[in-house]
């Protein structure tokens, strides 16, 4: 039986595997405190999404509902969150497309080869 925790762990493992292959820094899974509780995200990418990084969590069939506690913690920490269907990043090409959509905000010298600098310090695909 699929549970949200299993889906989150599967997504976390997929992201971690892709990041290792691509040489991208990531913390998978990633925990943030929500007062007395800990909210676990599938991943945190410190150099994508914004200058503060990007939190990633799962969204699953059949309703593709997002998690309000995850959204609230991300908002409180001022870190963007992306809710991802694990089936949308099965292969590396799909993951790279997601990274390009999120944008690279890390050190220009360390930018992945599939990203290109443009505009206000945001690196996008080439």
- pLDDT tens digits, one per residue of 33-89: 877 889 999 999 999 999 999 999 988 666 776 778 888 899 999 999 999 988 889
Rounded to whole angstroms, how far apart are CA atoms 50 and 47?
7
Cα 76 to Cα 92: distance, rounded to the nearest angstrom: 31
Distance between CA atoms of 37 and 22, rounded to whole angstroms?
33
Please report the domains of the chain, with CATH numbers, ordered by start residue. Answer: 4-125 (3.40.960)
The CA distance from 45 to 32, in Å, is 14
16-24 mean pLDDT: 96
Q: Which two tokens stand for residue 18?
A: 């892709």
Q: At 58, which helix (H) or strand (E)?
A: strand 54-58
CB 44 within 8 A of CB 52: no
Write the pLDDT tens digit of every residue in 90-121. Answer: 899 999 999 999 999 998 888 898 886 544 45
Please tell me the pTM assigned to this model.
0.86
Neighbours of 26 (CB within 10 A): 22
């Amino acid at each position: 039986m699929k549970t949200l925790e299993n889906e989150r762990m599967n997504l976390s493992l997929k992201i971690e595997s892709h990041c290792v292959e691509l040489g991208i820094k990531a913390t998978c899974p990633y925990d943030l405190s929500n007062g007395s509780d800990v909210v676990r995200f599938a991943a945190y990418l410190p150099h994508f999404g914004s200058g503060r990084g990007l939190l990633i969590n799962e969204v699953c069939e059949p309703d593709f509902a997002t998690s309000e506690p995850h959204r609230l913690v991300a908002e409180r920490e001022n870190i963007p969150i992306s809710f991802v269907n694990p089936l949308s990043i099965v292969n590396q090409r799909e993951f790279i497309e997601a990274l390009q959509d999120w944008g690279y905000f890390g050190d220009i010298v360390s930018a992945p080869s599939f990203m290109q600098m443009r505009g206000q310090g945001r690196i996008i695909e080439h």
